[in-house]
């Protein structure tokens, strides 16, 4: 198990929504390993992802099929800059898209295959949202059972709403058909939710509405060589450590229509002995969630040149 400062190390990789214009520019300017990572991304994808990350425009960067490889590239660039100082890693996990970054770091996917796979995943997810309009909403200060009940009550035979992200106690995201999600938001407020807020997304991610994307992603995953990860990756679907490549392939496909069990993922890692969590990539969303899930855990976000210098 990896030890930094006397604690077992677990890696966390952020998901979609963490992207921002200018992401990774300071890493690229200061670290040769990061420059190489961005150069490899451009070559693998056949366009300048680097320019899009550094210069935008934001409207293009936030598109699902662009944001996903951009976040993976930033995460991998950061990982390459800090890998030597972290030493052996105990476990890793990633929030939705971030799970692909975790598998790249664990050398289950090649970096180029990871980039092309999440690019394709983003295209398929965007097309699913265009084929059947859906949305997502954040629901605060309701427990998980109450959110499940609200979703059931808001759903009809033709309009579906389901829990999509169990991010931390009292912070859940719901997903589904627009009308059903709108009903669920009102029901959540009536049930005592402090806030229910529509999210700016292009589809009902992590819900059955994404099922039309499954054949395309299954084909993409089948075409990609996948090896046993160098360290276990905790699945957001099962909240269990994955060590076998075929199990990883199946769970990455199942992600599309399954809820993100992030709270359970953190508990799994903590139970396995992880006490030091290092978030690699843009932003610090997962580090913030960590404190709400496990106050005893030590979390640190690393995604800028200054943060890398502080870590090393």
Q: What are phi and psi of 72, to 5 degrees?
A: -60, -45
CA–CA separation, 176 vs 162, rounded Å? 6
Residues 212/131, Cβ–Cβ less than 8 Å: yes
DSSP code of residue 209: G
DSSP code of residue 213: G
**Residue 85 CB neighbours (<10 A):** 10
Q: Indicate if 96 belongs to the active site.
A: yes
Q: Find the catalytic residue in 65, 206, 207, 235.
A: 206
DSSP helix, strand, coil percent of the chain (3-state; round to 5): 50, 20, 30
Q: Find the catalytic residue in 18, 75, 96, 258.
A: 96
Pairing of strands 91-94, 233-234: parallel
- How many angstroms separate the Cα of 55 from the Cα of each of 20, 52, 276, 283, 284? 10, 5, 33, 17, 21
Tell how far CA 41 is from the center of its chain: 18
Query: What SS3 state is found at 199?
Result: coil
Q: Which residues are catalytic?
A: 96, 206
């Amino acid at each position: 198990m990896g030890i930094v400062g006397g604690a077992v190390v677990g890696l966390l990789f952020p998901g979609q929504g963490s992207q921002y214009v200018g992401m990774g520019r300071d890493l690229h300017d200061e670290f040769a390993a990061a420059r190489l990572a961005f150069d490899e991304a451009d070559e693998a994808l056949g366009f300048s992802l680097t320019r899009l990350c550094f210069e935008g425009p934001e409207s293009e960067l936030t598109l699902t099929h662009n944001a996903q490889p951009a976040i993976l590239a930033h995460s991998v660039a950061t990982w390459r800059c800090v890998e030597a100082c972290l030493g052996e890693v105990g476990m890793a996990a990633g929030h939705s898209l971030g799970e692909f970054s975790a598998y790249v770091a664990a050398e289950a996917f090649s970096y180029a295959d990871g980039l092309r796979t999440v690019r394709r995943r983003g295209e398929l997810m965007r097309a699913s949202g265009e084929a059947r309009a859906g949305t997502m909403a954040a629901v605060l200060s309701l427990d998980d059972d109450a959110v499940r009940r609200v979703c059931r009550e808001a759903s009809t035979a033709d309009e579906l709403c389901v829990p999509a992200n169990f991010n931390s106690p009292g912070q859940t995201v719901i997903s589904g058909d627009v009308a059903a999600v709108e009903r669920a938001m009102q029901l959540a407020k009536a049930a005592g939710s402090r806030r229910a807020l529509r999210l700016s997304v292009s589809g009902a991610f992590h819900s059955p509405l994404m099922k039309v994307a499954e054949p395309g992603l299954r084909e993409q995953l089948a075409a990609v060589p996948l090896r046993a990860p160098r360290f276990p990756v905790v699945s957001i679907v099962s909240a269990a450590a994955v060590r076998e490549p075929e199990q990883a392939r199946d769970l990455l496909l199942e992600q599309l229509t399954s809820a993100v069990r992030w709270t359970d993922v953190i508990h799994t890692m903590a139970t396995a002995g992880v006490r030091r969590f290092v978030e690699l990539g843009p932003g610090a969303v997962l580090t913030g969630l960590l404190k709400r899930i496990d106050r005893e855990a030590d979390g640190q976000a690393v995604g800028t040149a200054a943060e890398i210098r502080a870590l090393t």
